[in-house]
Structures are given as C-alpha cells and as structure tokens.
Structure 1
Amino acid sequence: MVLQSRDINVLQYIVEDYILNGLPVPSKKIAEFPEMQVSSATIRNVVSELEMNGYVTRPHSSAGSIPARKAYRLYVEALGSVNEMMLSSKLRRKVRHQLIQSVSNDINTWGSTAVNLLSNLVGSLAIVTAPQSFQLYVNQIHVIKIQNNTLLLIVVFPGAVIKQKILSFPNHIDQSLIDESITYLNHIFVNKSYHQIKDVDLPLGIVKKKLFKSVLFVLEEQQQKIQFDYRLDGLRNLLIQPEFVNRNGLLHSLVHDIEQGELLQLIMSLMPQVGTVRVVIGDEHSNNKMRPFSLIIGCYGISNNMIGSIAVVDSVRMQYLKGIASVKLMVNIMTDITRMVA
C-alpha cells in the first residue's frame, strides 16, 4: 500500500493521540479533528485500509485504532530532522548551564547530572555512559589453509591478543583466493573499530563473505568484553506506564538485563555515529525481551577518540518527538563538554 497524504495525516493523528492518551482512537474522534476536513465514512475507509496493511490494529471493526510498529516507524521517519530547537530556549539554556556547572564543581558528577536531567526531560528510563576511548581495533588478520576446504582465521588485536577460528567450506579453496581474501580483509578491518565496520556491505563470494562475517563476529565479541562506566536514572518512570501495570514480568526482565549488563551491551551495539541519533522501535529488536520497549540512542564525544552514549528506554508508546529532541540536546552539550575536558 502506497500511503497518500490523507492516509498519512490520519495515521499521524492516531499515533499522536494514542501516545498522549494510551487509548484506542475512534474513527469518529479522528473525523472531528478540524484539520481532517473529511467525512466519518471516509475516515472509516482509510482506517480499514490501514488495518489491512498492518499499520493499526482493532479488536473488532467498531473499535478504536491502536498503532502498530509500522505506524510508529512511519511516524518517526515523517518527523524528519528533529533537533533540539523544538525544545524551548529557556529549557535548553537551563540544561546546558546545569551540566557545565556540574563539571565546574566536580567533573566526576557530570554523568549523574546528565542522566538525571535527561530522565526528567523525557519522563523515561535514561542511561548515559562516560566518555572513554573504548573502540577496539584490529592490528592484523592472517588466514592459513590447514586442509583443502578448511581455513584457520587468526585475528590479532593490540597488546598481542590473538583470537583464532577454524572455518570449513564445502569445496576446495585455491591459495590464490586465500591470498586475495587476506589482502581484502586487512584493507577493510585494520585500524578500524567494530562501529566503523558493522554496516559495510558484505563482499561477494562464499569464502570472502564467511571470512568477513567471522572477523566481524570476533571483533564484536572482543568489543563486548570492554567495561563501561555508566549512570542510570528513571526506572520509576516505567513503573507508572499503563503498558507495564500488572505486568511485572516485563520490568523484572528489564531489571535483570540491566543488572547483567545486557541492556548496556545492546545500547553500545546499536550506537550510531558521533553526533547522531538512532531509534529502535518495538519488534525491530532481535531480542524478544526488548520488543515491548523502544530505544532512542545518541552518541557524543570526539570521533575515534573519546565517545559515550546517551539512551532513553520507554514503552513503544513513548513521546518520540520530545525524546529525539532531548537526546540530541544532550548529545550536543556533552560533546562540547568532552572537548572542554579532553
């Protein structure tokens, strides 16, 4: 279904009303919105089409609409380049002043100040990691043929840390292809971090592709062993969300992931480039336990040097506009502070 402007307007209204009130949105209510300027019958037809194409769900034909994950994704994409300017200038100045003041008073408290400010700004769970040079780089890659169809992959990291992996293939592998693959892998991976490599297009060919995926897996595995200093605030905000009332199992699972470091590792694996923000919505998560939640993740600091992450965790019905603007505000301020103290 190619959505027309009218369809998008109706869907946007449904999403915004549901975010605000947490209740299914009746077609009659949509039709009464002055900017729609269409009949109730037209709205019902549009809603039926949206339901058929997976943008909304309804318990029965006469019930109100509840936005599906596709609707939230379309809504977020339609927001375009949201920035901190949608927040009041007074609020922006206040947040910047408090963060810079915390650095002046005690540099060790700015993480706590930042996460508290962000949690209060968005009314959600907030997580901030301290800036650090945590990017792990590959020094060298070797590939040795140990049988006609079996290769030994050797990945060398700084500090003479060596990781090995045996890879089997269905057919005989020529030495010329191995040599070509070694050159390719070293060109792609050496002196690059996991975050610089993870979105690179896969190479062609079974051998190169499998070697590429294996090196990336080893690099990610080593990256996840790095310890991060982080601050967290606002878990109490999730306790009052209607989605989680009488569903303690969801929050218990989230708390468990926090305590085990799994949530932090997830955030770090999804972290975008410095100065940018990424939104992950509901069932876009590969981890089933995270599908009741959405994440807004930002990266601040100095590229390839001192960087940290800023994240907001909430129900799928989070206030995306305010959340994205708030995370971008914190990214910009904390990038400035990192440059000041680096």
Structure 2
Amino acid sequence: MLDDRKLAVLRAIVEDHVSTNEPVGSKALVDRHNLGVSSATIRNDMAVLEDEGYITQPHTSAGRVPTDKGYRLFVDRLSTIKPLSSAERRAIETFLGGAYDLDDVVGRTVRLLAQLTRQVAVVQYPSLSRSTVRHVELVPVAENRLLLVVITNTGRVEQRVIDAHGVTAEESIGRLRTLLNTCLDGCGLGDVAHAVANLPDQLPANERPLAAGVLSVLLETLVDKADEKIVFGGAANLAHMDFSQGLREVLEALEEQVVLMRLLGEAGDSSTVTVRIGTENPDAGFRSTSVVAADYGVGDITLARLGVLGPTRMDYPSTMGAVRAVARYVGQILAGS
C-alpha cells in the first residue's frame, strides 16, 4: 500500500501527463504542485512508484509516465467525478430532448458523447429482451400483405411484412389487433410466447391461419432474435490521439459488433461508471485504450450501456462525469417517451 504522499505524487504525474502528453520529472512536480516536500523526496517517491509498477521511464534521462496500473490506482482513488457545468447540462437536455424517436435518441447520444469527451462514443440500443410491449399494430399494405408493427416501452419500433393468409376483411384484422394488444400491453418480451399461447383459440376458425402467421413472425422478431445492436461515432477523434499500438488495430476492432459488446461489458449497477484501462480490455485491438461506460435505463430497469473509448492518457474525472450525465439524461428521455 502506498502512503498518502506517494499517492499525491502519482496523482500529480497522471494529471500533468494527461495535460502535456510529456514525461513528468520531479522538478516539474515541485514547480506545478504544492506537495510540501523537496525535489529529492519526490525523486525517492517516484523511484518507489516505478519499482511498484505505477510509473515508467519511456526514455533514458526522461521523466516518468503512468502505466496501466498507475492509471487504475488513480481512477480507483478518485474522490470525485468532475461534474458538468450548468450550461453543459442544459445543452445536453436540450439536444437530447429534441429527439423524435429511438434511432434519433441513439444518434444524438453518440454525437453528444463524442463532442463532450473528444473520444470515440459507443452506444448500445436498448435490448429487446429487457423491454415491454407498448402497442401492436396491423396495417394492410398490399393485396394479401400486412405490416406488423411492434412498439416497445423504450420507443423501439420493429416492423415486418407478413402474409395475410387470405384474410383481408378489416373486421378480422381489427379483431386480431385488439386481441394482440389485450394480451401484450405491458408484457415483458420474454413472456410474449406464454401470453399469446391461447390467442388463436379466441378467433373464428377461418382467421386462425392469419393469427398463426402473425404470431410466428412476432415471436421470431421479439423472442428468438439476437438483437444487440451497437453504434459508434467520433472516429475522427482518433486522429488526434496517441496509441501505443497501431491506429489500424483500433479501427478494425471498432467495426465488430461482438467486440463492441465485450468492450462495453456486462450491465451492472446503473449508478456506477465503469472504467477499463489498457490491458484490462478483453480484445487485443483495444489494449492501448481506455473505456469509460455506464448503464442507462428506465426507473430501476437497465436497458443497455453507453460509453467512450480513447487512449489511456485520458482526462478520467471529466470523461467519467460526462458519461454518467449523458446516461442519466438518456434514461430520462426514454422514460418520457
């Protein structure tokens, strides 16, 4: 365990390196920080920090830079996450509040996170498996064709064109529509199959083939589908970042949805911002990056995750504050949708 003074020295090294992108020497620490000890004492502390693996010397006669282990201790010992200013909070609320559907919410969130943090923003769509049905619509669109529309409580809209099985009368279509909404309003998507199991028995025999066709598509869409979709933005910010490994590896990893899912990690405590630093990331393409992520949801229900990716030399307090604030606002927007 490091004592308070060595922790203060480490904190100062991290802050200076993030600010200047240069190795940090003992003289610079004395000049910039009120550590209350001599340069010689700071050099001794830096030697201990280096022996313990928290900092390293990139070149002979150079100062020191934090290692992944040093950044991890810095993040773990953060006493506060830097809050956004009132102007920034108003801007977030106004920008996200103007969204008109779920796709727009996600798109705006990606752009907002990338602008706030100057990093790559990554946002997961609300998972269907954690959603409930708000409304089901059946709309005739062509001869012997219906459009099935399912709207979830998160504002997600799923649409499929299906065979009407010869049933085109508005009365029959309306009867099926009413039964579907009666059975499914507020139903969790994992419970849909059970909720509609006896629905065809409530219809005349000649309308049951239509019901069977609609239910088959409905279950395929909402229950059997592996729908975890992730979008990212702000890739242009990578051009201004420094990575210990090639930029190409990072860009290639960003293109893989499965990799991005692992990158964001598992949903957990919605009040917690998680940070993965360098080698803590599961994919080799992101071993020179840090990922700051948080859950978002409606009430106590976690729907998905969002976050940002950047170099390990990151302003962690500000980035964590921005990710946490945006996650909260996205949850509020979805709760009111």
Alignment of 1:157-196 (within 5 A): none
CA shift, 1:316, in A, is 0.7
Is the partner of 1:102 in helix, strand or coil? coil
Equivalent position of 1:173 in the other structure: none
Alpha-carbon separation, structure 1, partners of 2:264 and 2:105: 20
| Contact preservation (8 Å) 2:242, 2:311 | no
CA deviation digits over 1:5-34, x for unaligned, max 9?
A: 110111000001111111100111012234
- AA matched with 1:94: A
CA shift, 1:306, in A, is 6.2
Equivalent position of 2:249 in the other structure: 253
| Contact preservation (8 Å) 1:132, 1:305 | no
Alpha-carbon separation, structure 1, partners of 2:90 and 2:299: 25
- Is 1:126 the equivalent of 2:121? yes
- Is 1:319 the equivalent of 2:332? no
Equivalent position of 2:304 in the other structure: 308
CA shift, 1:108, in A, is 3.2
Is the partner of 1:80 in helix, strand or coil? coil
Is the partner of 2:12 in helix, strand or coil? helix
Name the count of aligned residue pairs: 246
Cα–Cα, structure 1 residues 88 and 51, in superposed 2: closer, same or farther, change >3 Å?
same
Equivalent position of 1:231 in the other structure: 231
Long gaps (5+) in structure 2: 132-189, 191-222
TM normalised by structure 2 equals 0.67
Equivalent position of 2:42 in the other structure: 43
Equivalent position of 1:114 in the other structure: 109
CA shift, 1:304, in A, is 7.7
CA shift, 1:319, in A, is 1.2
| Contact preservation (8 Å) 2:253, 2:286 | no
- AA matched with 1:258: L
Equivalent position of 2:95 in the other structure: 98
Is the partner of 2:122 in helix, strand or coil? strand
Equivalent position of 1:73 in the other structure: 72
Which one of the candidate residues 286, 291, 296 is aligned to 1:295?
291
- AA matched with 2:37: V
Alpha-carbon separation, structure 2, partners of 1:60 and 1:107: 49
Cα–Cα, structure 1 residues 288 and 229, in superposed 2: closer, same or farther, change >3 Å?
closer
CA shift, 1:230, in A, is 3.1
Alpha-carbon separation, structure 2, partners of 1:313 and 1:88: 22
* Identical-pair percentage: 30
Is the partner of 1:126 in helix, strand or coil? strand
Is the partner of 2:333 in helix, strand or coil? helix
| Contact preservation (8 Å) 2:296, 2:328 | yes
CA shift, 1:97, in A, is 1.2
CA shift, 1:291, in A, is 1.1
- AA matched with 1:52: D
Alpha-carbon separation, structure 1, partners of 2:87 and 2:75: 25
Cα–Cα, structure 1 residues 135 and 257, in superposed 2: closer, same or farther, change >3 Å?
farther
Cα–Cα, structure 1 residues 87 and 304, in superposed 2: closer, same or farther, change >3 Å?
closer
| Contact preservation (8 Å) 1:258, 1:264 | yes
Alpha-carbon separation, structure 1, partners of 2:103 and 2:280: 35
Alpha-carbon separation, structure 1, partners of 2:54 and 2:302: 41
Cα–Cα, structure 1 residues 107 and 289, in superposed 2: closer, same or farther, change >3 Å?
closer
Alpha-carbon separation, structure 2, partners of 1:79 and 1:259: 32
Is the partner of 1:332 in helix, strand or coil? helix
- Is 1:335 the equivalent of 2:331? yes
- AA matched with 1:43: I
Is the partner of 1:131 in helix, strand or coil? coil
CA shift, 1:3, in A, is 1.0
Equivalent position of 1:242 in the other structure: 242
CA shift, 1:64, in A, is 0.1
Alpha-carbon separation, structure 1, partners of 2:227 and 2:284: 25
Alpha-carbon separation, structure 2, partners of 1:135 and 1:283: 31
Alpha-carbon separation, structure 2, partners of 1:270 and 1:281: 16
Moved more, 308-317 or 226-235: 226-235
Equivalent position of 1:281 in the other structure: 277
Equivalent position of 1:264 in the other structure: 260
Is the partner of 2:35 in helix, strand or coil? coil
CA shift, 1:294, in A, is 0.6
| Contact preservation (8 Å) 1:132, 1:308 | yes
CA shift, 1:254, in A, is 2.4
| Contact preservation (8 Å) 1:135, 1:304 | no
TM normalised by structure 1 equals 0.66
Alpha-carbon separation, structure 1, partners of 2:58 and 2:263: 34
CA shift, 1:81, in A, is 4.8
Is the partner of 1:309 in helix, strand or coil? strand
CA shift, 1:339, in A, is 1.1
Cα–Cα, structure 1 residues 49 and 268, in superposed 2: closer, same or farther, change >3 Å?
closer
CA shift, 1:107, in A, is 4.6
CA deviation digits over 1:270-291, x for unaligned, max 9?
A: 4433343211011112433321
